[in-house]
Chains A and B, each alone.
Chain A
Amino acid sequence: MSGIPLAPVYGPRDAEYPGLYPYTRGVHSSMYRTKLWTMRMFAGFGTAVDTNARFREIIRSGGTGLSTAFDMPTLLGLDSDDPMSLGEVGRCGVAIDSLADVRDLFAGIDLGTITTSMTINSPAAVMLALFVAQAEESGVSREHLGGTLQNDILKEYQAQKEFVFPPRQSMRLVRDTISFTAAEMPKWNSVSVSGYHIREAGSTAAEELAFTLANGFAYVELAGLAGLGVDAVAPHLSFFFNAHIDFFEEIAKYRAARRIWAKWMREHYGAKDERSWQLRFHTQTAGVSLTAQQPEINIARTAIEALAGVLGGTQSLHTNSMDEALALPSQKAARIALRTQQIIAHETNVTNVADPLGGSWFIEELTDEMEREAEVIFAHINKMGEGSMLEGCIRGIEENWFQGRIADSAYELERSFNSGERVVVGVNDFLEGNDEDDMATLRITNEDERKQLARLEKVRHDRDGEQVRRALERLSREASDPEVNLMDALIDAAKSYATVGEMMTALVGVFGRHVEVPSL
């Protein structure tokens, strides 16, 4: 502000610089001077028509990417009229049953120019098929589609628990989507390897870092088994980390993540393409850090967490809304969350210099320590897999190792809150104001559920039942042959207006269902 001239980056001559291997300081040499992070706000509720309106509002307010939140039935591959869907339709995301819903979801939005992220895992291949079918119907060919499919099924078994098929069968679908997008969708990120949910489920920062990167290694090895070289898959993996409230530890975590990924891709997996070495990531502020007490103060928490993501060099960012410990965000709360990013981007000048904390004795030591802790965990996973990270991740799930560690860490943290050893403002200290008036929150009524059921009924009525039957039959047949890539059969089924539930049921018939053994 005072006009002091700033260099794009600082450091002694022999220092490591951003844009150079191993990228501790960032994947681009001039970082946000050249391109700001993408302000990608996660949204979805009610019917596709409701969410389409929120998407347009986000674009009007200056959001630069879309991110779709699906409701629980969709995430578990159930139709809205499934008995298990009762009460959940459109509640914590948008309800998608068929191509008709995807068409309304993206109505008036040019899929050739705005990138779209879809947060879905077990039915990820089904949703990708619906998305491709919709884009092609609207005149955008698949090679022009840019965006990300979360498609990170390993962390579902480890942390978020939205699974359908057993782990090994799920990994076949991940393999198919990786192969399909590598061949036909060059601008698409096939997997968003996600630590966010691992952290939200209670892990420490180091566990989030290590479990996530180990899962990333597993996907590289999985693609390798399908004949894809590391340089065909790694550039299309993106990452997704949490920005929790421990400010410096988070920044160190992102820096360590880039360095570890670069080293493992180059040295362990033999990647030659520098894009394979570069870990690009999305960040979301920590939902679990939000308090239901004095919800307005969550704006401050979110701002601090978002700043950690930016100082850590994130490529895109979602900021949580102040009311999310109470309900899905209201439009106003979501706008304030986006404004928080805009203040960081346009007012604070933190974007002028890449990795401004690089060279700090504290940050560098913390980065090294994060890397050391992660390597200890990698060694354990590698041992579980007898030399294979892919096998180690799957066995770690089957043996409840990841789940147990996350639950232990969550319990330890909770005890420290209960004992008062850690302070949470408004929860165990500084309680004045807790009894003030309640904040108005977004109401999702059962009306949305009724509307969606009517929409689904119309689709079932209008479509050609014989065409649907043939498409589903083909899907079952091809699913029984593990060598076949299922994407073509899924796109065919999507175009016939087969529903998400019908496609998933066909796959369950072949793959079976996963049941987690309950453990405390």
Chain B
Amino acid sequence: MTVRVLVAKVGLDGHDRGIKVVARLLRDAGMEVVYTGLFQTPETVAAAAIQEDVDVVGLSMLSGAHMTLAPLVVEALRDHGSDIPVVLGGIVPPSDLDELKELGVAAVFGPGANAHDIVNVITSIVAASR
């Protein structure tokens, strides 16, 4: 079954190079990708993910707001009774990784993560959640 991904920019960060490149690489790997556009809130992302019936939500954050916003997206999904996994890419210090996992972020991709690994990790997260 084709994996469906919602890629989203939450908050005020306009850096969209990474999210666009990753979205195209996921498409190359055969996934269906929906992009929210910029300046979304945790609530709009959760609503879009449920409405689009995606298998995974991918957030991209380069502004340092990930510790606040990524868990809020997880929370918004869970509030709607959804268990869609959330993954995160961007500028994330290694010291934040453990806490993000505890807060429900399924995987984090830092700078330099390659397409192959991103596809594999997303594929296995989706397989485990189905």
Contact = CB atoms under 8 A, between A and B. Distances in A.
B123 to A, nearest CB: 16
Tier of interface size on chain B: 35 or more
A92 B116 contact: no
Contacts of A73: 12
A337 to B, nearest CB: 17
Main secondary structure of the interface of A (DSSP, over half): loop
B43 to A, nearest CB: 11
A17 B87 CA distance: 55
Q: What size tier do the contact residues of chain A reach?
A: 35 or more
Given A161-B15, A292-B110, A87 B68 contact: yes
A4 interface: no
Interface string A405-441: 0110011001001100000101110000000001001
A365 interface: no
A290 B20 CA distance: 19
When A and B form their complex, which 9 residue pairs have the shortest distance between CB atoms, in order from nearest?
A87-B68, A161-B14, A518-B37, A91-B64, A72-B12, A87-B65, A427-B112, A292-B111, A438-B94
Contacts of B92: 326
Contact of B38 (A161, A428, A438): A161
B37 A516 contact: yes
Interface in A160-210: 160-163, 200-202
Contacts, number: 117
B63 interface: yes
A182 to B, nearest CB: 29
Contacts of B23: 520
A441 B11 contact: no
Interface of B: 11-17, 20-21, 23-25, 27, 33, 35-39, 41, 63-65, 67-69, 91-95, 110-112, 114-116
13 contacts: A72-B63, A78-B12, A88-B63, A161-B38, A162-B14, A292-B110, A326-B92, A407-B17, A426-B112, A427-B112, A438-B93, A438-B95, A520-B33
Contacts of A201: 15-17
Nearest to A91: B64
Contact of B14 (A160, A290, A291, A427): A160
B28 to A, nearest CB: 9
A417 B114 contact: yes
Nearest to B20: A407
A444 B64 contact: yes
B37 A160 contact: no
B21 A411 contact: yes
B115 A326 contact: no
A9 interface: no
